[in-house]
Amino acid sequence: MVHLLITLVLLFPVATATVERAFTAMNIVKNQLHNRMGDDWMNGCLVIYIEREVSNTIDNEVIMKCF
């Protein structure tokens, strides 16, 4: 039980930081101009914003050909 308690205590800051980062990104993406966006659109915008290092490596021409 002590091992489980120590594991949970060590994981708590990591889990909290991830959630805080997601809420910060949501506040940046969903501002007054985008207040009426749907859940699917907001999720897509958040993924692109959070994973911007990866999305910056993708060529725009590839995306345009896909759609």
Q: What pLDDT digit, counting tens, does each position of 10-61 carry? A: 777 766 777 777 778 777 777 655 666 777 887 887 888 888 888 888 888 8
Compute how many other C-beta atoms are within 10 angstroms of the C-beta atom of residue 10. 9
Q: Where are the domains of the chain?
A: 2-66
Cα–Cα distance, 19 to 2 (Å, whole number): 26
pTM of the predicted model, to two decimals?
0.46
pLDDT at 61: 87
pLDDT at 3: 85
Compute how many other C-beta atoms are within 10 angstroms of the C-beta atom of residue 26. 15
pLDDT at 48: 81
